Amino acid sequence: MSAGDRYHKTFPVSWEQLHRDCRALAWRLVALRPWTRIIAVARGGLVPAAIIARELDIRLVDTVCISSYTLRTQGEPAILKQAQCLDREEETLLIVDDLVDTGKTAKIVRDIFPTAHFATVYAKPDGRPLVNTFITEVSQDTWILFPWDAETHVEFVHPIAMKRTDG
C-alpha cells in the first residue's frame, strides 16, 4: 500500500502544541509513580522525551534507535542501537515516543523492555494497545505532520542532508 493510499488526512502539530501535549503527558505520568530513567525512541521520541525529562526531573535519558519510516513510507523496522538498562530498573523505566502508528516499532520496544511503561504523545488505533499512556488519538489514515518536518505546517520539508546535491 502506498502512502497516497494509506494517508487521507494530515494533522499538523506546531511546536507550541507539541510542547503543550508533552506537558499534558507529563501530568499523567507524574501521578503514576516516580520514574528513574527515560528511554527515548529515536528519532521521533527525542523531543518529547526531553520535555518530559525536564517536567519529571529525570536525569537519566537513553535511546533505542529504530528505523522504520522514510518520508511517508513505513518499511520493516530495524534496530540501530539498543538502550542499556538493568532488569531491576524496568519497574520505574519510562519509554517515550512521539507516536504509535501501526505498532511495529512499539512491538520491538515492548520485546526489549516488556515491563516498562510506554508513553506516546499521539496514538493511532492499530498501535494503541501497545502503549500504556498517550494524550491524543488520531485516525489510522492520518499523517501527523510534526513541527520538525514542516516550515509552514502544510507541506513536508525535506531534511537538509537530503537537499544536498553532488557538484
Catalytic annotation, residues: 97-98, 101
In sequence order, what are the residues at sequence separation of 6 or more whose Cβ sits closer than 8 angstroms to the Cβ of residue 167?
A: none
What distance in Å separates the CA atoms of residue 43 and residue 151, rounded to the nearest whole number? Answer: 18
Question: H or E stretch including 50?
Answer: helix 46-56
What distance in Å separates the CA atoms of residue 164 and residue 167, rounded to the nearest whole number? Answer: 9
Residue 159: what are its φ and ψ, rounded to 5°? -60, 155
What distance in Å separates the CA atoms of residue 127 and residue 119, rounded to the nearest whole number? Answer: 12
As given in the structure block, the three cell numbers for residue 106 are: 512499539
Instruction: List residues bridging with 62 in a β-sheet.
Output: 39
Q: Write the DSSP symbol of residue 103.
A: S
Among candidates 21, 25, 47, which has minimal Cα distance to 35?
25
